[in-house]
Structure 1
């Protein structure tokens, strides 16, 4: 398994959003749900339209089986509102073109993100990149590792900091400041 990184550069994130919005609305929704919620890809793919019409997303995490409830960011709410206009509550949010009402598979989500990575010349990108991007920017803006640990259901803050790449950023900054 490759170790994926968050997307640290806000301009690249904005470019990806514009690109996906113009080329494929479903893929755009996949990306923005990922970066605004920090949910695992397995949980994003199980979301149905009715799950995101409220002010909160409530679900049982696929990996941990823990119940999770989170507020929907106002920007994400606005994006979803226009996307959901002609969709019914029972439909999957990230719907496959194959079958009547099935979500895309994890492998397809990976292909979508790899295509984005190629388009924007990014390395170390995969399905966890969206979750890590959420975590990285949440941490940078709040400097609250403990709250992020709680959001991610990690057992220790050090795991969270390593997961989102801030430990490596701190090490890199220290190396660059070194005077010999």
Structure 2
């Protein structure tokens, strides 16, 4: 009886050790009920901010994150047209105030169509770079009345009213979208330089 108990105890200990080893082991395959090897499709999800139906994550750059947003297709098209994809994909860091499609819809259609023409590339670039500030500024860095010098050269003014933050009067609707090369703020207006 003592021998039988010892055998059972050793068997349980062996199974427990095997289970413990297997639970810490990473495997690229799993087995389904028919004992066929299946690829492991478990994915870890990176924390981020949802914008336009897509998760904006710190491992992607500003452009890569913007490409996933259904709310920023006009901005992405304008960035491509202006030839700024490579710049905004660079090391930065940048702070970008990103107008939504609804914000661009407030711009007269004829004006927007003209800006998207190759002959207007310089003007489009001035407008887009007016939305970009050197450095990675999080919302905790912003102060009421603060002025920020843009890549375009002119200044933007940050204000707050009734708990809402604005840049040049456009509402900041989503703050602190962190990318590998900076920070993005979603805004409800297109900022126009003087």
**TM-score scaled by length of structure 1:** 0.24
Larger radius of gyration: 2
Asked which structure has the greater RCO (Cα within 8 Å, sep 6+), the reply is 1
Structure (1/2) with the larger strand percentage: 2
Structure (1/2) with the larger helix percentage: 1
